[in-house]
Structure 1
Amino acid sequence: MQNSGHPRVEIVVPVRNEEYDLGPNVRRLRDFLDTAFPFPAEVCIADNGSTDATFEIGTLLATELAGVRIVRIEQPGRGRALKQVWSGSSADVLAYMDVDLSTNLNALLPLVAPLVAGHSDVAIGTRLARGSRVVRRPKRELISRGYNLLLKATLGTRFSDAQCGFKAIRADVAAELLPLVEDTSWFFDTELLVLAERAGLRIHEVPVDWVDDLDSRVAIAQTVADDLRGIARLHRTVGRLPLEPVRRSFGRPAVADPRTALAARVLRFACVGVLSTIAYALLYLLLRNTMPAQAANLVALLVTAVGNTALNRRITFGVRGIENRGRHQLRGLVTFFIGWSLTASSLWLLHTAVAVPATAVEVTVLTVANLAATVVRFTLFQSWVFDDEAPALPTLEILEHSRSN
């Protein structure tokens, strides 16, 4: 970071065929930066492959408004535009936001302040964390949550929202990471964040107020297909990328190979699962003498689920202390109900096929069903139950720190 007293920020607005939204929204952004933003900031309109009047309108804006420039990239692709502009920028902090300004601009200072202060390396807006207020269609909400759960399950990511169009990165960090990013379209964000996380860099998350753009022209089916291909590519190649020099450049600790870490976690989870299954079977046998099968199954599952969550919290996922323990147990109970539905349906099918099955048969069927539910439980534990957001550094503290430097 340059020690200029007030590090300069450049905000890139990637656009393609946005002739209607570009003018009013860039003026609104520029007015906010001039009146309510404490750091000198420049806006760069990155026109990537527009075929309407977007470039001409952007050129007029750059002529009319101080602190606005425009770059023309002939080929389309948000990732391509960001990579080109960020690579050639002289700013200390590089940010981008969607032209529709779906994110409330009041989140811009909390986004860039940790980077200005040197507290974090990358900052992202998140629509999926506590404190976010989001207005968007159920279909888009479902796709977004499903995509981020998939990232957690397949790549072991910890950040909560990969595709929110509101991100920032320190320029020195971008110089190290951008040459490693291959994608030139919508998966660019995800790839950049995965590489940053694997390099041990600090990712700051800012809950945002977000109102979905009803005129969004993102081709969902094509984007989903491209994202799935990107995930598969990263899963194959990210472990072979030269991230060690990035860690050394910023003094970050080495990050374990995710496949090795995942294997160790699965092993610990399996050991806890074996203990829980044995405890469940013994408790069910004990309760079966005094209550019906379904009731015994429910009580045995509930008791062992609480113990299973507590053990996995400490042993499998290494979570210490009492913070979020209640929330972890509550989410663990949700996974319990999923497991209970599997075992209950298995028990119902057994009693439908055999009027009075032997107790040994009941235990065998329930044990198999419980083991099947374990696979679902691990996936949810990995991607949701213990997926805690890192505490945000208060903005005032960041600003005081930046002033002292």
Structure 2
Amino acid sequence: MLPSLDVVIPVHNEEIDLEPCVRRLHEYLRAEFPYRFRITIADNASTDSTAEVAARLAEVLPGVTAVHLTEKGRGRALKFVWTHSDAAVLAYMDVDLSTDLGALLPLVAPLISGHSDLAIGTRLARGSRVVRGAKREFISRSYNLILRGTLAARFSDAQCGFKAIRADVAGRLLPMVEDTGWFFDTELLVLAERAGLRIHEVPVDWVDDPDSRVDIVATALADLRGIARLTRALGTGRLPLGALHEQLGRNPLPVAGVPAGLTGQLLRFAAVGVASTLAYLLLYALLRTGAGPQAANLVALLVTAVANTAANRRLTFRVRGHDGAWRHQAQGLVVFAVGLGLTSGSLALLHTLSDPPTSVELGVLIAANLVATGVRFLLMRIWVFRATQPVAAARAAEVNASAPTVGIR
């Protein structure tokens, strides 16, 4: 019978800690875990006797297997074992067992039931109990703040060595993960979050291992390089996250009387609109010093309209790739013409009535832009990007209807 859970222990030169770790984990799973399990020791290029210890444990402990890789890298080891595993849920934990094993069942239960797609232990959530030095605490919190600022990550703890993923999700997500080292976890979580997958977080009890041999400086530099690479990849749209979202992503809950996705689109459109309006006003004020009001309005509105259409295409309506980009920009210019008519008409009417100061001009333009913004959203939703929404919804419904159910085997 196939296991429900495969727990991977990635190791490199851990000949001393490996045996007590595996024996303790095996005893806990045998006594406390209600599902069939496997423990896989993933030795990545150890130069000491780690491979021999792993092989001996695999011989004497039922449900323990050993894998030896000739190349170093925790991410490489996890990706290899997870890709070849036949278990329904895949997990890993660090060899030092810093995380209390009592969190293992709460970690994997939502994945076994199908409620969630990934699960992580977190040392930074309310309810977690952590014992570690101030230096590691500062580094961990700083790293997660960087992730929030650069990659808009919403999960609380990327680095805790206590994670799990459903096998069907891993099969689609792992081919996109490039890192083979310590950044593997972060990249996996960011891609999962961007694809609309559900990440379950479990507050853990965690005690720092004083003998940890992780090179903090080298790991931090590698993480920063990974953040830069992933930011570029997400910015260029070369990762097929849209297709993954259609296959596995969690669609918004339907609300009676509200079209699907409308609330999120309004919020994203508003954010883009605020940025566009500020850019427009800045450009208008700069151009107005050397040009008339109509010319300044035309140039400022044209420049920001092109940028606005591109931003709404990608951020508000989630359109990826270059297909239809020129058509969308052409339609966006028609929407721009509507906005130009509203703002230029307001200016023309204002100047026929009086010779107002610049501050009054700006006030009238703000009011006209608010009206133009509402019209722009309606036109973009029902005309410019209308074709992209029902297609995505239909694909998602088709995939959900044919997707297999993860069960316990």
TM-score tier after normalising by the smaller chain length? 0.5 to 0.7
Distance in 1, Cα, partners of 2:138 & 2:277 = 33
Shift of 1:269: 9.1
Give CA deviations for 1:167-204 in whole Å, capped at 9, x if unaligned. 00000000000000000000000000000000000000
Distance in 2, Cα, partners of 1:267 & 1:134 = 43
Partner SS, residue 215 of structure 1 = coil
TM-score by length of 1: 0.63
Distance in 1, Cα, partners of 2:247 & 2:201 = 23
Name the counterpart of 1:8: 4
Pairs within 5 Å for 1:163-174: 163-174=159-170
Please state if 1:242 is matched with 2:224. Answer: no
Report how many aligned residue pairs link the two structures.
270
Unaligned runs of 5+ in 2: 253-260, 279-405
Please state if 1:67 is matched with 2:63. Answer: yes
Name the counterpart of 1:33: 29
Shift of 1:127: 0.3
Name the counterpart of 2:104: 108
Shift of 1:18: 0.5
RMSD over aligned CA atoms reads 2.8
Pairs within 5 Å for 1:133-212: 133-212=129-208
Distance in 2, Cα, partners of 1:403 & 1:83 = 22
Query: Is the Cα contact below 8 Å between 1:7 and 1:116 reproduced in 2?
Result: no
Name the counterpart of 1:95: 91
Distance in 2, Cα, partners of 1:213 & 1:192 = 25
Change in 2 beyond 3 A, CA 1:131/1:269: farther
Pairs within 5 Å for 1:326-405: none
Distance in 2, Cα, partners of 1:205 & 1:147 = 18
Aligned residue identity for 2:247:
S
Stretches of 4+ moved more than 3 A in 1? Answer: 253-256, 260-272, 402-405
Distance in 2, Cα, partners of 1:270 & 1:49 = 52
Aligned residue identity for 2:76:
R
Shift of 1:244: 1.8
Query: Is the Cα contact below 8 Å between 2:3 and 2:86 reproduced in 1?
Result: no
Give CA deviations for 1:1-32 in whole Å, capped at 9, x if unaligned. xxx9x961000000000011100110000000
Aligned residue identity for 1:84:
F
Partner SS, residue 170 of structure 2 = helix
Aligned residue identity for 1:250:
L
Give CA deviations for 1:205-227 in whole Å, capped at 9, x if unaligned. 00000001101111111111111
Give CA deviations for 1:11-66 in whole Å, capped at 9, x if unaligned. 00000000111001100000000000111110000000111111100100000100
Change in 2 beyond 3 A, CA 1:244/1:7: farther
Name the counterpart of 1:357: none
Shift of 1:265: 3.9
Match of 1:48 among 44, 47, 54: 44
Shift of 1:247: 1.4
Partner SS, residue 82 of structure 2 = helix
Distance in 2, Cα, partners of 1:58 & 1:105 = 21
Please state if 1:229 is matched with 2:234. Answer: no
Query: Identity percentage over the alignment?
Result: 63
Distance in 2, Cα, partners of 1:253 & 1:82 = 29
Shift of 1:253: 3.2
Partner SS, residue 204 of structure 1 = strand
Distance in 1, Cα, partners of 2:272 & 2:134 = 33
Aligned residue identity for 1:128:
L
Unaligned runs of 5+ in 1: 273-401
